[in-house]
Amino acid sequence: MRLLLLLFCLCFATSLAAQHYDWDAFVEEYTSDVERAEEEDLQLHLQELKELSEHPLNINTASIEDLLQLPFLSEAQIEQIHAYIYLHGQMQTLAELRLVPLIDEVTRRRLSLFVYAEPEQQNVKDKLFAHLRQDISTRLDVPLYYRLGQQQANGYRGDPLYHRIRYQTGNSGHFKAGLRIEKDAGERFYDSYGAYAMLHDVGILDRVVVGDYRIGFGEGLVMGGSTWSSKSAPPLKTQGGIRPMTGMDEVSFLRGAAATLALGKHIRLSAFGSYRKRDATLTKDGEVQTLLTSGYHRTATEWERKRNVGSTVLGGNVEWYNKGFHLGATGYWQKFSRNLNPGTQTYRAIYPKGKAFGTGGINYGYTRYRFSFGGETAYSTADGGWATINRASWSIGRNYVLSAVQRFYAYQYYSFYSSALAENSNAQNESGVLLHLQAEPLAGLQLTTYADFFHNPWPRYRMTHSSTGQEFMLQGVYALSRQHTLLVRYQLKRKENGDRMEPHHRVKLQWTFEPSKRLRLQTTASYHGVLDSKGFMLTQNVRYAMGKPNLSFNGQLGYFNTDDYLSRIYVYQPALYSSVSSASYFGHGMMGVLTCRWKSKNEKLWLEARYGLLRYFDRDEQGTGLQRILSPWKNDLSFQLRLKI
């Protein structure tokens, strides 16, 4: 019987061969909450997902913790995958995912980028350093223009080139290590660097990381790691524990050592310690006014702010899993080498003050087939504040998933490492309720809708009183045929800003045509209206992959016209491998991007190039301050070399 079902799945998969799905298509789909496309946490989140796609998991041997790294998988779906493998044996092909009850078409498509199906080879898995693979890449960005900072004596101290080098080694079983160095444009030296080494699944050691790492436990209320919560995706699961820092981010990581012990089948015990220097602006008394996150050290002023405050972090976590239940506790203590004094401005009055801080929380949850519940409640010593987030998800058959999230973050609560669902950048000073529905009512039709209601009791930036807001979204994706797909999305957000309510109306129409695996055309029309400000943008994407010469091209051409910055349009752009690129456009102009990638026959050598173009029709210069370009044109070149051994 299983053989007949497998043959059916293979035949079905073959019939859909024209529907080519790759990383760029995933990002377009996954980042449908376009307003957040410029945020650094999303950029870092996508970079880490890119790393996972480059080193996919064997679905037959992937643990719960491994699959928890994939943010689009729910606990119920992970449970169903493991149940299928337990009952029917290891998967021979990913087409068997069609036999897993709760895995819908969208999830199957996304999983194809991050997992593969291959029978487990015990002789390979048992060797700690067997079958090591090397991955070396270097990237150089060359701007074909000068910024004002390069033309002034008191401007940028270094050349305008950006350069980075990344090296990684490891295997699919137990070991992984890497290092990175980076120089930003305008910097004189390679002042960003890091390294890590990780052991995984070695006896009682579930995972050990030395060097740079990130942590996520519970719902991300205490320690959220690199998670990015999108309202357009169903609220799903707990975080993925300890993982190495593989991206190029200069801020959002810990440096030291962390370990997770597997105490039997049901208990995980983790401990971590970190010490690193942070960039900060200081007051005249030498106190920290603002912890900086840009990572730039281009000017004399930025150099003075470089790593001038030390941060020590000690903490731990314990998790218990059994028969669908999970219960855990997370806590950390942090001490800075300087006193934090954010100032007297109203919106900054709730920021943490002092040197030493502690945050702890309890997370809980239950998953049973089609129902999943989870939450976390935490307390911080900064000002004695509480916070809680609770979510529930119910799969109504294969085609409907109904979810709800309740959140309350007191303005006295603060965690330096939180990353939970929130309208604002921090899990602080906010309460709200989110309702979410994901449905496939007809074959080929995928509907997503949500409604979010939020309230901020303490005045935010540019506000003099408490504020409220609402956000609604309805999206439909319909596969007209194997070659044609239509996406329609409408989003309304009403949020107070500057003591007035700003209703944001966003509309996106997108048509995708894939006549073959080699060619993909995508036409997108976007509209953004805010009060009396309106803007639209048209973009055309073309991707083409040649046959025997392993050569591919990815191009984008766009035209935009907005009244001002308020009605700006966000766009995801083609990027070099292991990179993510997005930008916002306002005013009147055009943009273009073209990438080219060549791979050797054995795919061990990669050569890539990227050209970016921006032309404004309504101004003679662009940018502000030292970033100003005294021309309506902006042209960039990027080159990347990658060697896999």
The full 3-state SS of 337-353, as one line of letters, equals: EEEECCCCCHHHCCCCC
Alpha-carbon distances of 438 from 435, 446, 474, rounded to whole Å: 10, 8, 10
The residues, ordered by sequence, that sit 6+ positions from 593 with a Cβ below 8 Å of its Cβ are 554, 555, 556, 573, 574, 581, 610, 611, 612, 613
629 Cβ contact partners less than 8 Å away, ≥ 6 residues apart: 145, 146, 147, 148, 621, 622, 623
What is the number of residues in the chain? Answer: 645
pLDDT score, position 239: 67
Amino acid code (one letter) for 119: P
Q: Which CATH class is domain 2-132+171-513?
A: mainly beta
Residue 219 to residue 222: CA distance in whole angstroms: 8
Q: Which two tokens stand for residue 173?
A: 């079983």
| pLDDT score at 67 | 82
Report phi then psi at 204, rounded to 5: -75, -15
**Residue 627, burial from CB neighbour count under 10 angstroms (0-12, 13-18, 19+):** middle
> Closest by alpha carbon to 402, among 413, 391, 387, 415?
391
Nearest Cα to Cα of residue 367 among 320, 325, 321, 395: 325
Residue type for position 495: K
Residue 187: both structure tokens together: 């910097």
Alpha carbons 407 and 389: distance in angstroms, whole number: 4
The single-letter code of the amino acid at 134 is Q
**Phi-psi label, residue 2: left if phi above 0, alpha if psi -120 to 50, beta otherwise:** alpha
| pLDDT at 126 (0 to 100) | 54
Q: Which single residue is written with the structure tokens 């942590």?
A: 215
Instruction: Quote the pLDDT of residue 227.
Output: 55
Positive or negative, the CA dihedral 41, 421, 235, 245 is positive
Query: What is the b/e burial string over 24-57, where b = at least 16 CB atoms within 10 angstroms of the residue's CB?
Result: bbbbbbbbbbbbbbeeebbbbbbbbbbbbbbeeb
Identity (one letter) of the amino acid at 439?
A
Q: What is the pLDDT of residue 602?
A: 85
C-alpha gyration radius of the chain: 24
Residues of the chain with pLDDT under 70: 1-20, 28, 31-44, 120-126, 172, 225-230, 234-239
Burial of 453 (0-12, 13-18, 19+ CB in 10 A): middle
